[in-house]
Amino acid sequence: MVDVMISLFPLIVVAYLAYGWTALAVISTSITFALLAELLSSWLFLGRKNTLFDGSGIITGLLLAFILSPNTPLHVVAFGAVSAVIFGKVLWGGIGKNRFNPALIGREFMAVFFPLIMNGAALWAKKASVNIPGLHGFSFFASDVMNAFSDSLVYKTSGALGEYSILGIALGGFYLLMRNRISWHIPFSLLVSFALGAWLLQGEVPMKCSVAGILFAAIFMATDMPTSPVTSKGKLFYGAMIGVVSLILIKTGVRYEYMSYSILILNGFAGYVNNIFRPKVWGGQMDWMIRAEDMFLLALSILMVAFAVSALYNYHFIPYLIYIFIVYLVLKFIFVYHKQLSKYI
Amino acid sequence: MNLLIPSTKKENKKRAITSLNPLKRYRLPLKAFGGTLMQPVVVAGDYVRKNQLVAESNSPFYNSIHSPVSGWVSSEPDWDGLYLSIKNDFLELEEDKPYFDPNDLSGEELLLLIKESGIVGCGGAQFPTYAKYLFDRDRQVDYFIVNGTECEPYLTADYALMSEYPEQILGGIACVQKIIKAKHIVITLERQNKELQKNFESSSLFASLPLAIKIVPDNYPQGGELQLIKTVTGIELRKGVLPSSIGIVVNNVATLWEIYKAVYQRQKYIERIVSLSDKEKALGGNYLVKIGTPIEEMLKYLVSEYDDRNIALVVKGGPMMGTIVEPLSASIDKGTGGLMLLPQINQKIENCIGCGYCVEVCPQRLMPLEFIQQTSNSNIPHLSKYNVDDCIECAACEYICPSEIPLISHIRRGKQLISMLKKGKND
C-alpha cells in the first residue's frame, strides 16, 4: 500500500501546481471521508475495528480524487468517497472480496445521484481556478511545436486531477513495476490494443481522448488486484479487451466515461478470464481448440455487454443499473456475505 | 519456477560432520511409504544386535528397519504401533556379516542387497529404493540423475555429505549403474554449491563412469524430482508417471551413500546425516545420527541450555516442507534431512487479494488460490479441473502469499476430498 502512495505522490504535487488549494481540498476530502466510512462501516458491518491500518482506504480516496474535476463540490466528493468504500469494498466482505473497482464505483454513484452537477458543463470550466497555467521548460527541440508537445507531456492543466502530467503517471507506473506491485501485462495490452484500434478506426471516431486519462486508468485502475485476473495470459486478454471495449464505447457516444465503464465491465468478467486462461499443468496436455473457442465466446460476450451498456447509457438507463446494483449488493450482504466474513476468499 | 529464497546456508556449510554420541534408547519409526505400518519381527524383551532386522512390511513394496545399536527391545512406549523402542546396552555388538566381494556382485544381486538393507529415498519421501530399479531390463535408461540439489533453505546435510565423502557417493553411483546401465549419469548441484564440483571431478572413479556434473539454478524447488528432470533432460513429466517408464532414474545423494555403505561396509540403513539450525541463536551443525534417535534427547545433547529455553517450534525437515513435531514423541526417520528450532510464528491471516503471486511461483503451474474457495465448499469437480493432485506440496505458494493464507492445509484437504471420493466409488 505504501508503494502505491509513493507512486501517486508526484501526481499530488502536480495537481497542487495546477489547481492549488482547490485540488488539495478535493483530495483531502476524498481521503478523509473514505477513511471515516471505512472505520464506521467496517465496525458496523464487518465487526472489525482495525482495518484502517492496511492503507487501502487512503488509496481508494486518492484514486477517486484523481478521476474527478477540481471543480467538484466537496459534498459530492464526500458522497463519492463514502459510497466507494461501502459499495466498493465493505459490503462485499472487505478488501480482496470485492469484484469491482471501488474508486470507479464511487464515481458512478456520484454521476447517478448528482447528475446535474456531474454531467454539467460547469464542472469542467476550470480555467478560472488554474494555479500555474503551463510549463515552458522545453527548448531542446528546434521546432516550437515539438517543444510545446514535450511540455504538455510533463504538465498540462486539462482533465481530471490525476491527468496533469503524463510523465508523472509514467514515473508512478515504473515505480510500481520495479517494486513488483503491478505487472506489465495489463497496461501494455490495454495501451497497445487501444492504440491499434484507434489507428484502425481513424476518422470514424472523435479522437479527442485524454491520453493521460487512459494511461492513468491503465496503470492505476485496471491493475487493481482483487478485480483483475491472476494469470499472465489472462491479464493480456483482459487489458486488450478493455482497450477494445473503450473504443466501442467512444464510437457509440460514451464521451467521457468510456474508461470507467470499460474497466467496470471487464471487472465483471475477471473470474471467467481466470478460468479460461488457467495455465497448463506441468506435464499436462492442453486442448488448444477448446481454449480458443472459449476465448472467442468470452470475447463475444464481453463485446455484447459493451454494446448493451452503451445502449443503456444512450437511453439514460444507467441510473437504474446502479439502483439494481445497490439492492442486489445489500441483499447479498445480508443473506450471504454477512455469514462468510470469517472466510478469507 | 520463479521463487528465489535467501539460502541462509553459509554458516552451516562450513561445519564438518560430527557424530552424535550413543544414547540410552532409540525409538524406531515403523511408518513406511504408502502409510502402512511395518510389523515387528521381535517382541519386548528380545535381545537384538546392531544391523539386525526388527520390523518389515510387504505392501505396496518391501520395507524394513534394522536396529542401530545392540540392546533390548523395550515394551514402551510405542504409541499404537508407530514406534519400536530399543534400550541401548552400549556394547555395539554387530550381527554376523557374511563376507562377499562387492565387486563380484551382479546387478540383480546388488538390487537384492539394496532391498534387504532397508534403503529408502533419503530426500524425504522414503520411497523404497530397490523398487525404483524394478523396471524391464530391456528398457534403456537414458538418464541417471543424482540429486545433489538440496533446495530448501537452511538444510546442509547433503552438502556436508558431498563435501566429505564424494568418493563414497561415487561408489554408490557405480553400484546402481551396474543395475540400471544408464547412458548418461548427471550429478546436479545448485549454483550456490558449485564449489563441490571439483570434489567429484578429482576422483578416479569419475572418469570410469559416463558422468557429467550439471550446475542448476538456485530457484526453489529446483530439487523437486519433476523440476530436476526437466532441467537436466528437457522433458516435462506429469506427476504420477514413473520416471523409469521414460528411461529416467533419480536418486538423492544420501540414498547413494547408504547404498555404498550397504555394499562396501555391509551396513543396513541405520544412520544418516541431519543438519541442525537454531534460528534464534544462529547455531547449527551437521550430525551423523542413528535412525530412531529421539528428537528430545538429540536437542538436549546438542543445544546448550535446551531445557531452559522453552523453544517454541521444532520442525523436522526444512522450513518449507518440514512438519512441526512434538520433541517428546518424535524421532529421526530415514527421510529427515534437517532439524530446525524456530521462534513462535504469529500468523495473521488476511483475505486473499487476488495478487496471483502464488500462481507465479508454483512449480507445477497450478493456481493455489483457486483451492481455498473450492476446499471450503467441497467443490470436488472444480478441484479436479484445477489439478489439485498435481501439487507437490513444496509450499512456495504459502511462502509468497502476502495474506499468509495456509494454502498447504487447504491443498491437503482438497486432495483428501478427492481420494475419499475415489475410495467411495471403489467400495
Is the pLDDT higher at A124 or at A72? A72
Burial B240-252 (b: 16+ CB within 10 A, else e): eeebbeebbbbbb
Cell 456531474 locates to A118
Candidates A281, A285, A336, A340: best to mutate against B (most CBs of B within 10 A) is A281
Give residue A282's pLDDT band: very low, low, confident or very high (50, 70, 90): very high
Is the pLDDT higher at A249 or at B8? A249
Q: Does B354 touch chain A if contact means CB atoms closer than 8 Å? A: yes
Which pLDDT value is given to residue A271? 94
The region of weakest confidence among A98-112, A114-128, A186-200, B25-39 is: A114-128
The region of weakest confidence among A206-215, A292-301, B201-210, B271-280 is: A206-215
Which pLDDT value is given to residue B9? 84
Q: Classify burial at A305, counting beta carbons within 10 Å of its beta carbon; exposed 0-12, middle 13-18, buried 19 or more.
A: middle
Which pLDDT value is given to residue B1? 63
Q: Does B212 touch chain A if contact means CB atoms closer than 8 Å? A: no
Can you read off the three cell numbers belonging to residue B205?
A: 572413479
Please, where in chain B does CATH 3.40.50.11540 lie?
A: 10-15+130-264
Flag if B372 and A344 touch (Cβ within 8 Å). Answer: yes
Which pLDDT value is given to residue B163? 92
Which pLDDT value is given to residue A295? 96
CATH superfamily of B10-15+130-264: NADH-ubiquinone oxidoreductase 51kDa subunit (3.40.50.11540)
Can you read off the three cell numbers belonging to residue A87?
A: 459499495
Give residue A185's pLDDT band: very low, low, confident or very high (50, 70, 90): very high
Give residue B184's pLDDT band: very low, low, confident or very high (50, 70, 90): very high
Q: Are B129 and B335 in contact (CB under 8 A)?
A: no
Flag if A282 and B390 touch (Cβ within 8 Å). Answer: yes
Average pLDDT over residues B54-75: 90
Q: Are A304 and A241 in contact (CB under 8 A)?
A: no
Can you read off the three cell numbers belonging to residue B222?
A: 529446483
What's the mean per-residue pLDDT of chain A? 89
Which pLDDT value is given to residue B271? 93
Q: Are B27 and B294 in contact (CB under 8 A)?
A: yes
Can you read off the three cell numbers belonging to residue B77?
A: 512406549
Q: Does B363 touch chain A if contact means CB atoms closer than 8 Å? A: yes
pTM of the model: 0.90
Give residue B236's pLDDT band: very low, low, confident or very high (50, 70, 90): very high
Report d(CA A53, CA A328) in Å as an integer: 29
Q: What residues does B323 pair with on adjacent strands?
A: B316
pLDDT cut 70: percent of chain B above it: 98
- Taking the CA of residue B383 and the nearest CA in chain A, the distance in Å comes to 12
Which candidate, A114, A106, A108, A112, places its Cα nearest to that of A80?
A106
Q: Does B242 touch chain A if contact means CB atoms closer than 8 Å? A: no
Is the pLDDT higher at A344 or at A33? A33
Flag if B237 and A283 touch (Cβ within 8 Å). Answer: yes
Q: Classify burial at A250, counting beta carbons within 10 Å of its beta carbon; exposed 0-12, middle 13-18, buried 19 or more.
A: buried
Which pLDDT value is given to residue A138? 64
Flag if B390 and A231 touch (Cβ within 8 Å). Answer: no
Q: Which residues, including other chains, have CB under 8 Å from residue B424's CB and lie 6 or more apart?
A: none
Q: Write out pLDDT tens, residues A49-76.
A: 766 666 889 999 999 999 999 889 999 9
Q: Are B356 and B371 in contact (CB under 8 A)?
A: no
Q: Does B236 touch chain A if contact means CB atoms closer than 8 Å? A: yes
Q: Does B288 touch chain A if contact means CB atoms closer than 8 Å? A: no
Give residue B302's pLDDT band: very low, low, confident or very high (50, 70, 90): confident
**Among candidates A97, A229, A282 on the partner chain, residue whose Cβ is nearest the Cβ of B364:** A282
The region of weakest confidence among A74-78, A324-328, B109-113, B202-206 is: B202-206
**Among candidates A95, A226, A230 on the partner chain, residue whose Cβ is nearest the Cβ of B367:** A230
Residue B337: CA count within 13 A, CB half-sphere: 29
**Among candidates B241, B364, B369 on the partner chain, residue whose Cβ is nearest the Cβ of A281:** B364
The region of weakest confidence among A30-39, A203-212, B340-349 is: A203-212
For B312, which DSSP code? S
pLDDT at residue A280 greater than cutoff 90: yes
Is the pLDDT higher at B75 or at B386? B386
Which pLDDT value is given to residue B354? 92
Find the radius of gyration of the CA atoms of chain B. Answer: 22
pLDDT at residue A205 greater than cutoff 60: no
pLDDT at residue B77 greater than cutoff 60: no
CA nearest to A277 within chain B: B367
Report phi then psi at B295, rounded to 5. -65, -35
For A44, which DSSP code? I
Flag if B369 and A283 touch (Cβ within 8 Å). Answer: no
Q: Are B130 and B172 in contact (CB under 8 A)?
A: no
Candidates A278, A282, A337, A341: best to mutate against B (most CBs of B within 10 A) is A282
End-to-end CA distance of chain A: 20
Element (H, E) at A246: helix A232-251
What's the mean per-residue pLDDT of chain B? 89
Strands (E), chain A: none
Report d(CA A259, CA A242) in Å as an integer: 8
What SS3 class is residue B66?
strand
Give residue A203's pLDDT band: very low, low, confident or very high (50, 70, 90): low
Its ipTM equals 0.89
pLDDT at residue B358 greater than cutoff 90: yes
Q: Are A160 and A6 in contact (CB under 8 A)?
A: no
Which pLDDT value is given to residue A110? 95
What SS3 class is residue B175?
helix
Flag if A230 and B353 touch (Cβ within 8 Å). Answer: no
Which pLDDT value is given to residue A208? 67
Q: Note the Cα A59 to chain centre separation in Å.
A: 12
For A205, which DSSP code? S
Which residues does A contribute to its contact with B (CB < 8 Å)? 54, 93-97, 225-231, 274, 278-284, 343-345
Which pLDDT value is given to residue A141? 67
Which pLDDT value is given to residue B281? 67
Find the radius of gyration of the CA atoms of chain A. Answer: 20
Give residue B422's pLDDT band: very low, low, confident or very high (50, 70, 90): confident
Flag if A345 and B390 touch (Cβ within 8 Å). Answer: no
Q: Which residues, including other chains, have CB under 8 Å from residue A336's CB and lie 6 or more apart?
A: none
The top-scoring range by mean pLDDT among A61-70, A249-258, B323-332, B338-347 is A61-70
- Taking the CA of residue B161 and the nearest CA in chain A, the distance in Å comes to 31
Q: Which residues, including other chains, have CB under 8 Å from residue A33's CB and lie 6 or more apart?
A: A61, A77, A78, A81, A82
Can you read off the three cell numbers belonging to residue B210?
A: 559416463
Q: Write out pLDDT tens, residues B239-250.
A: 999 999 999 999
pLDDT at residue B172 greater than cutoff 90: yes
Candidates B237, B351, B365, B376: best to mutate against A (most CBs of A within 10 A) is B351
Give residue A140's pLDDT band: very low, low, confident or very high (50, 70, 90): low
Report d(CA B158, CA B199) in Å as an integer: 14
Give residue A43's pLDDT band: very low, low, confident or very high (50, 70, 90): confident
Report d(CA B118, CA B334) in Å as an integer: 9
pLDDT at residue A112 greater than cutoff 60: yes
| Axis-axis angle for helices B253-264, B166-180 (nearest 10) | 80
Give residue B397's pLDDT band: very low, low, confident or very high (50, 70, 90): very high
**Which residues in chain A touch residue B355, judged by CB atoms under 8 angstroms apart?**
225, 230
Report d(CA B321, CA B393) in Å as an integer: 7
- Give the count of beta carbons closer than 10 Å to the beta carbon of residue B406: 15
Cell 505392501 locates to B59
Q: Does B404 touch chain A if contact means CB atoms closer than 8 Å? A: no
Average pLDDT over residues A262-279: 95
Flag if B354 and A228 touch (Cβ within 8 Å). Answer: yes
